[in-house]
Amino acid sequence: MTSKNIIALSLAFLWSFQIAVGQSDPKAIEILSEVSDNYQELNGFSATFEYAYSTDEEGLIQTNTGQVTVKGDKYRLTLNDQEIFNNGNTVWTLIKSSKYKEVTINNVEEDSEELTPSNIYSIYQKGYQAELVGSDQKNGVAVHEILLTSEKEKSQFENITLFIDKSKLELVAWEIQDDVGGTFTYTFKDLDSDVSVMDDYFVFNTQENQDVEVIDLR
């Protein structure tokens, strides 16, 4: 797997895209609206998830696991040697390797169109067409399969498929197709939809991590 694909895999949670609701399937929008409403009522959630990258030519290239905790617009995401802290105002990207540790600090851009763990439940509201394409099974769970198709030319990710638990109306998995024939697949495992987390959990404390090089880009 190339370094380009590895970076894309780790940052797929954070990639930008838009969805056009006006031309979408009303039934798909109804389902997605209920999912979004359910999410808004949560105090927070945490989950482990499996993520993989595959192509038609090479098949499954890499499979890994990650962890995420979300509270409103705040999230903390762990992917292999990378951990991302976002408290809604500032984002810290921590890179840990056998040779060095560094954290890059940026302001959160309010107008950003990036996909994050905290806005995945509202992505249907802007930029792609949404269509209910059928039903499926994910880990023995009956799910709605909703396809989001980019209206943007040369979009990095052309199609996103969301899999929604039919009974609980919860997002259980999603697939993202890129512009070179690759597919990122994410599946929630051990989802806890009722967690209470202090706000400082979403902040990287540089004072308590003196061994980490700080790159402040604010």
Position 132 scores a pLDDT of 94
Position 205 scores a pLDDT of 94
How far, in Å, CA of 20 to CA of 172, rounded? 23
The residue ranges of the chain whose pLDDT is under 70 are: 1-23, 110-126, 154-157
* CA dihedral for 22, 24, 26, 28, sign (positive or negative): negative
Segment 124-172, tens digit of pLDDT: 666 778 899 988 888 889 999 999 887 777 666 678 899 999 999 989 9
Which helix (H) or strand (E) segment is 32 a member of?
A: helix 26-40
Q: Which of 205, 191, 218 is nearest to 70 (CA)?
A: 191
- CA 35, 161, 192: angle at the middle one, nearest 5? 45
Position 3 scores a pLDDT of 45
Q: Which residues of 102-125 are buried (b: 16+ CB within 10 A; e: fewer)?
A: ebebeeeeeeeeebbbbbbbebbb
- Phi, psi (degrees; rounded to nearest 5) at 11: -105, 5
| Domain range summary for the chain, segments of one domain joined by + | 3-216
Q: Are 30 and 16 in contact (CB under 8 A)?
A: no
To which CATH superfamily is domain 3-216 assigned? Lipoprotein localisation LolA/LolB/LppX (2.50.20.10)
| Residue 193 DSSP SS3 | coil
End-to-end CA distance of the chain: 33
Position 216 scores a pLDDT of 94
